[in-house]
């Protein structure tokens, strides 16, 4: 018991250290955002003791993950035969039956049967887990992911944003061990890692953006991956409502696209 408490204290201390270190680095690089940083600290610091409670978040996330996976598989089995991506009405049907990002990712990956899926932004690993489960059920394909935890950025009205992990947890901690053989996770900044990875992979069947939702980074990632998608390859993006980047990009490319629950889907 004492050992557990000590271990928890150690994890929390390390988590705080990483959090403050990353915030300090962000502040030094962005002194113009000092007001946003202080606003964030005043608003959020009060919740940190609650957030660091042992495994509270982990357990509830695990529960939702497993329950949603079961539901998603049932939806896929029921509706997959009725969906034909050449047909616009299929997208209307998908809009009705798929509730969230995980369900959309699972359905698309099962249906497209890709060889290579690339995603940016892992955090707890919910999207990675659903993509990997779909690849596993297809018995084909690999997922390459890039993630840099503790990344601060501002969006909208200079609002500071951070996707943090619970103390002691690493990127992708929710991904079940049995699915990891199809997974290559790179920890690092998308600006450094994405150009190297696309060069190495050459061809990507599906790209999914879910890292930093700023106009600059979204546009950077779409541009980096677009030429590596084959004809009919998919560019997917979460939170396309954060900026005009997705709309601007796909209109510029003059391709078919759909937006489901804040997720953009463009077909090359
Ligand atoms: C919204 S979360 C990802 C959620 C995940 N895709 C899911 O659905 O479960 C965004 C992740 O991207 C990471 N991130 C933010 N900026 C990044 C950057 N410049 N390079 C790599 N990862 C970044 C964040 O630290 C966070 O882990």
Per residue in 53-102, pLDDT (tens digit) is 544 455 556 657 888 899 999 999 999 998 887 777 888 888 889 989 99
Closest CA to 107 of 123, 136, 130, 124: 130
Between strands 263-267 and 234-237, the pairing is: antiparallel
CA of 86 to the centre of ligand 1 (A): 31
Give the ligand 1 atom nearest the CA of 165: 27
CA of 28 to the centre of ligand 1 (A): 21
Q: Is the C-beta atom of 194 inside 6 A of ligand 1?
A: no
Q: Is the C-beta atom of 147 inside 6 A of ligand 1?
A: yes
pLDDT of residue 216: 95
Give the ligand 1 atom nearest the CA of 189: 20
Helix (H) or strand (E) holding 175: none
Q: Is the C-beta atom of 189 inside 6 A of ligand 1?
A: yes
CA of 180 to the centre of ligand 1 (A): 19
Select the more confidently predicted residue: 121 or 260.
121
pLDDT of residue 1: 47
| Six-digit token string for 138 | 């297809």
- Rounded to whole angstroms, the Cα distance separating 208 from 54 reads 31
Q: What is the arithmetic mean of pLDDT over 104-114? A: 96
Give the ligand 1 atom nearest the CA of 211: 12
pLDDT of residue 127: 95
Spell out the domain ranges in the chain. Answer: 2-267
Q: What is the arithmetic mean of pLDDT over 113-142? A: 97
- Rounded to whole angstroms, the Cα distance separating 142 from 134 reads 10
- Rounded to whole angstroms, the Cα distance separating 160 from 162 reads 7
pLDDT (tens digit per residue) in 207-238: 999 999 999 999 999 999 999 999 999 999 99
pLDDT (tens digit per residue) in 162-200: 887 877 889 999 999 999 999 999 999 999 999 999 999
Helix ranges, 98-189 (H): 101-112, 126-138
Q: Is the pLDDT of residue 13 over 90?
A: no
pLDDT of residue 59: 54
- Assigned CATH class of 2-267: alpha beta
């Amino acid at each position: 018991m004492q050992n557990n408490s000590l271990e928890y204290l150690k994890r929390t201390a390390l988590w705080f250290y990483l959090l403050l270190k990353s915030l300090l680095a962000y502040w030094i690089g962005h002194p113009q955002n000092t007001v946003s940083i202080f606003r964030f600290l005043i608003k959020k610091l009060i919740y940190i003791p609650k957030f660091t409670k042992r495994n509270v978040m982990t357990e509830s996330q695990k529960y939702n993950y497993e329950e949603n996976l079961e539901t998603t598989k049932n939806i896929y089995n029921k509706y997959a035969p009725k969906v034909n991506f050449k047909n616009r009405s299929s997208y209307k049907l998908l809009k009705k039956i798929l509730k969230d990002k995980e369900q959309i990712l699972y359905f698309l990956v099962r249906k497209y049967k890709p060889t290579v899926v690339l995603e940016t932004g892992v955090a707890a690993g919910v999207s990675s887990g659903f993509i990997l489960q779909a690849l596993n059920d297809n018995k084909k394909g690999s997922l390459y992911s890039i993630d840099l935890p503790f990344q601060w950025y501002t969006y909208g009205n200079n609002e500071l944003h951070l996707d943090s992990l619970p103390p002691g947890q690493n990127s992708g901690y929710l991904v079940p061990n049995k699915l990891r053989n199809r997974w290559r996770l790179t920890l690092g900044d998308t600006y450094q890692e994405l150009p190297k990875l696309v060069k190495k992979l050459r061809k990507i069947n599906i790209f999914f953006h879910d890292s930093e939702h700023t106009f600059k980074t979204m546009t950077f990632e779409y541009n980096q991956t677009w030429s590596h998608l084959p004809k009919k390859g998919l560019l997917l993006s979460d939170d396309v409502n954060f900026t005009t980047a997705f709309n601007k990009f796909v209109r510029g490319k003059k391709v078919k696209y759909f937006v489901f629950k804040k997720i953009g889907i463009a077909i090359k």
